[in-house]
């Protein structure tokens, strides 16, 4: 069962993946926080039965209470659901496609959180599919909408388009050269956010960043997507330029191949160390120094975080056993 994140897409030397998320609420119902478990479950079942009439996108309905805690955590690690959604199963459900590229969270902060994911740079494609699914749902439900404000959402930061679009970027050269913090400041002035995707006590790990739009009010969905596209392409160009410099040095070669050696031979491997080494190995792969397919690196990055290791093992392991299991999987895969 191949998942969406295994694929490689456009601009994948820098852009790992694209996500578009729409927040929608059904006008007859109060926001989820105002509903008790029973009402939320009823609402989820209503949405399910309505969607299932045509089930155009081949979605599967799963109540979160039927899922083990570490399975939900694993989905959050893969960004299929939000960490907040994973943390509490009560009155919550998802509608999810087979390869997990479409996921609709029911009774997260809003009634409907529709998300479409794509490998690589695919903002247009992801937005069009999200928009199409949104139209399909809109035929079946009356969404809470105000002519001045746009779509109504529980949190005012989502009012308007209710859309959050983002790309996951691999920026090792901008990180190593120290340009990243200045870029983060500049980008925030443009109404976007660039932040580390994996954070540990000592900052960002693995040189992976999420670039997302922040403004939803007073802007069309299309304009927001165009803004994000333009900044993404500029960041890609800057990263490539910084890489050109970085890759001239024998020390970079050394770092890349050592990282590969560690991944290939370690017997105990923490998530943080894996991500740190995968960043260098990814740089080696896209610069053709290492012969390792990007698909493998993408899969390792997504599928070997703590909760996902537990899912594979079918039980909650302690940290050491997880680190041993992770090292084993990495060796099998590279």
Q: Does 300 bind a copy of itself (CB under 8 A)?
A: no
Nearest approach in angstroms of CB 172 to a copy of itself is 17
CA distance 62 to 127: 24
- Of 168, 224, 262, 317, which lies in the binding site for a copy of itself, with binding defined by CB under 8 A? 262
**Which residue lies nearer to a copy of itself by CB, 23 or 269?**
269
Stretch that binds a copy of itself, among 11-19, 121-129, 200-208, 262-270 (CB under 8 A): 262-270
Q: Does 287 bind a copy of itself (CB under 8 A)?
A: no
**Which residue lies nearer to a copy of itself by CB, 53 or 267?**
267
Nearest approach in angstroms of CB 327 to a copy of itself is 7
Residue positions counted in the chain: 334
**Which residue lies nearer to a copy of itself by CB, 110 or 273?**
273
Alpha helices in 155-220 (DSSP H): 172-176, 180-189
**Which residue lies nearer to a copy of itself by CB, 169 or 300?**
300
Nearest approach in angstroms of CB 318 to a copy of itself is 13
Q: Confirm if 174 and 130 have CB atoms less than 8 A apart.
A: no
Nearest approach in angstroms of CB 253 to a copy of itself is 5
Q: Does 327 bind a copy of itself (CB under 8 A)?
A: yes
**Which residue lies nearer to a copy of itself by CB, 189 or 267?**
267
What are the tokens at 60? 């599967």
CA distance 183 to 227: 16
Q: Does 117 bind a copy of itself (CB under 8 A)?
A: no
**Which residue lies nearer to a copy of itself by CB, 22 or 263?**
263
Q: Confirm if 4 and 119 have CB atoms less than 8 A apart.
A: yes
Measured from the Cβ of residue 8, the count of other Cβ atoms closer than 10 Å reads: 17
- Of 135, 139, 142, 251, which lies in the binding site for a copy of itself, with binding defined by CB under 8 A? 251
**Which residue lies nearer to a copy of itself by CB, 222 or 264?**
264
What are the tokens at 78? 């893969």
3-state secondary structure of 61: strand
Q: Does 250 bind a copy of itself (CB under 8 A)?
A: yes
What are the tokens at 203? 């900052």
**Which residue lies nearer to a copy of itself by CB, 182 or 258?**
258
Stretch that binds a copy of itself, among 123-131, 200-208, 260-268, 301-309 (CB under 8 A): 260-268
Q: Where are the beta strands (DSSP E) in 197-281?
A: 199-200, 203-204, 208-213
DSSP-assigned letter for residue 305: S
Nearest to 12 by CA among 193, 283, 280, 253: 283
- Of 20, 96, 159, 266, which lies in the binding site for a copy of itself, with binding defined by CB under 8 A? 266
Q: Does 257 bind a copy of itself (CB under 8 A)?
A: yes
Q: Confirm if 149 and 217 have CB atoms less than 8 A apart.
A: yes
CA distance 228 to 266: 39
> Judged by CB under 8 A, how many residues of this single chain contact a copy of itself?
18
Nearest to 304 by CA among 140, 117, 74: 74
Q: Does 260 bind a copy of itself (CB under 8 A)?
A: yes
CA distance 134 to 60: 17
Q: Which residues bind a copy of itself (CB under 8 A)?
A: 250-251, 253-254, 257-258, 260-268, 320, 324, 327
């Amino acid at each position: 069962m191949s998942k969406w994140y295994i694929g490689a897409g456009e601009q994948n030397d820098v852009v790992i993946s694209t996500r578009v998320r729409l927040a929608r609420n059904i006008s007859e119902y109060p926001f989820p926080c105002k509903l008790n478990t029973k009402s939320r479950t009823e609402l989820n079942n209503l949405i399910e039965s309505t969607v299932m009439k045509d089930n155009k996108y081949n979605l599967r309905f799963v109540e979160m209470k039927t899922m083990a805690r570490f399975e939900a955590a694993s989905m959050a690690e893969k960004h299929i659901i939000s960490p907040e959604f994973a943390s509490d199963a009560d009155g919550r459900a998802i509608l999810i496609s087979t390869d997990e590229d479409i996921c609709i969270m029911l009774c997260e902060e809003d009634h409907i959180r529709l998300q479409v994911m794509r490998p690589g740079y695919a903002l247009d494609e992801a937005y069009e599919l999200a928009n199409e699914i949104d139209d399909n749902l809109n035929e079946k439900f009356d969404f809470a909408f105000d002519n001045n404000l746009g779509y109504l959402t529980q949190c005012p930061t989502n009012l308007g388009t209710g859309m959050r679009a983002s790309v996951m970027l691999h920026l090792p050269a901008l990180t190593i050269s120290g340009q990243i913090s200045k870029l983060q400041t500049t980008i925030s002035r443009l109404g976007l956010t660039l932040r580390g995707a994996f954070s540990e006590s000592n900052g960002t790990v693995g040189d992976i960043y999420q670039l997302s739009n922040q403004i939803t009010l007073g802007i069309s969905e299309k304009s927001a997507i165009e803004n994000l596209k333009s900044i993404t392409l500029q960041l890609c160009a800057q990263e490539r330029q910084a890489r050109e410099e970085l890759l001239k040095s024998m020390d970079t070669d050394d770092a890349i191949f050592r990282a590969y050696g560690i991944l290939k031979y370690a017997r105990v491997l923490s998530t943080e160390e894996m991500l740190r080494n995968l960043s260098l190995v990814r740089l080696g792969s896209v610069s053709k120094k290492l012969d390792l397919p990007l698909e493998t690196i993408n899969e390792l990055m997504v599928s070997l975080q703590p909760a996902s290791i537990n899912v594979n093992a079918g039980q909650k392991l302690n940290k050491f056993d997880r680190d041993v299991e992770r090292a084993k999987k990495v060796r099998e895969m590279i």
